[in-house]
Structure formats: C-alpha cells, structure tokens
Amino acid sequence: GGITAEEAQRSSHLNIVGMVGSIDNDFCGTDMTIGTDSALHRIIEIVDAITTTAQSHQRTFVLEVMGRHCGYLALITALACGADWVFIPESPPEDNWEEHLCRRLIE
C-alpha cells in the first residue's frame, strides 16, 4: 500500500535478497549467518593466547563467549580448542555440576 501499481511495475526488475547478520547463528533456516565465522575466528585467537598463559601458570580459565540464547559459538569453540567443559543453553547443566567440575579439575 505504500507504492502505486505504476511504481511497482517500473521497479519489477529489482531482485531483493535479505541476508541475516548475527554472530549468534541462531536464525532458523540458515547454515551460517554473517558474522558467525569472524566471531569464531576472533574467539579462537583469544583462546590460543589464554591457553599459553593458563599452561605457564598451571591454572584453569573459564571463558564466556557471545551467543545470547544460542550455544553454537560456545560449542564450536569447545570443539576447535579442545575444551574440557562447555555449557550451552540448549543443554543446561545437571544439578551439582559445580562439584563434578571441581573433582575433574583436581584429577
């Protein structure tokens, strides 16, 4: 209703494509949204830097990544970096996860 039939006819040759821009990769029907790959690349760089420090100080580091209500970046980062533990919203931790985590850290 915002344009006339004549205006629509004059512009009928235009093809418009919508592209999802989100680092969360949480839109249904998309394989990967714009921004997800670059966010993952940046996270991997940071994890590489933190890993060196953690190893030299013999410490455990907890890293929180972006993702709102979607655990895609956390899960892919965990796989790419060999994380020992990952929390994602799609699979909430069980009760007493803190105790289990602490036991794993001292083993």
Q: How far apart are CA 79 and CA 72, in angstroms?
A: 11
Answer yes or no: are the C-beta atoms of 74 and 58 closer than 8 Å.
no
Range of weakest confidence among 16-20, 43-47, 49-53 = 16-20
Q: Containing domain of residue 94, as a range?
A: 5-106
Q: How far, CA to CA in Å, does 37 sit from each of 21, 25, 58?
A: 11, 9, 30
Catalytic one among 24, 26, 31, 95?
Answer: 24
The CATH number that applies at residue 27 is: 3.40.50.460
Band the pLDDT of 47: cuts 50, 70, 90: very high
How far apart are the C-alpha atoms of 107 and 90, rounded to whole Å?
Answer: 28
Q: From CA 53, how far away is CA 28, in angstroms rounded?
A: 38
Token pair, residue 34, equals 């714009």
- How many structural domains is the chain composed of? 1
* Percent of the chain as helix, strand, coil, to the nearest 5: 45, 5, 50
Residue 37 catalytic?
Answer: no
Q: Hey, how many other C-beta atoms are within 10 angstroms of the C-beta on 74? A: 21
Q: What is the pLDDT of residues 68-98, one digit of tens each?
A: 788 989 999 999 998 888 999 999 988 988 8
> Cα angle at 100 between 99 and 104, to 5 degrees?
115
Predicted local distance difference test score (pLDDT) of residue 90: 92
- For residues 72 and 36, is the Cβ–Cβ distance under 8 A? yes
pTM of the model: 0.69
